[in-house]
Amino acid sequence: MAGRSGEQITWTGSFTEAFQRALDVLGSIRAELVDADPGHGTISDRTGPFSLGPEISVRIHTVEGVTTVDVEAHPGAPLPDLGASRRLVGRFLAEWSRLPLEPIDCVEE
């Protein structure tokens, strides 16, 4: 499909941490959650007014202690993409890299 864009992230954290991190990132880029299935490691979201923007999907899997996060975006409507899918994946990657590498534990004093 024209306009499809994707990237892969290698994550040394756990599957659960990667899944939660992906949800946090999608929330920070204001994507609307369509489906999240931790059992299959998939998340689907939409963007744009009236969900006419690109759709983004995240697939997470772990093999031998290494977690891989596949991020792909494609046009959500039969409209010209004009690079919106590529920019959405870029925003996801930028937000992912801004989060701390390790989860922050809150300790009450």
**Domain limits for position 79:** 5-98
Residues 63 and 33 sit within 8 Å (Cβ to Cβ): no
**Domain assignment of residue 106, yes or no:** no
In a domain, 78, yes or no: yes
30 domain-assigned = yes
pLDDT digits (tens, 9 = 90+) for 25-83: 999 988 888 899 999 999 998 886 666 678 899 999 999 888 999 999 988 776 666 78
Contacts for 1 with CB less than 8 Å, ≥ 6 apart: 74, 75
Residue 103 lies in a domain: no
Whole-number pLDDT of residue 2: 52
Is 10 domain-assigned? Answer: yes
Helix, strand or coil for residue 43? Answer: strand
| 109 lies in some domain | no
Write the CATH number for 49.
Answer: 3.30.530.50
pTM assigned to the model: 0.81
Q: Which residue has the higher pLDDT, 107 or 5?
A: 5
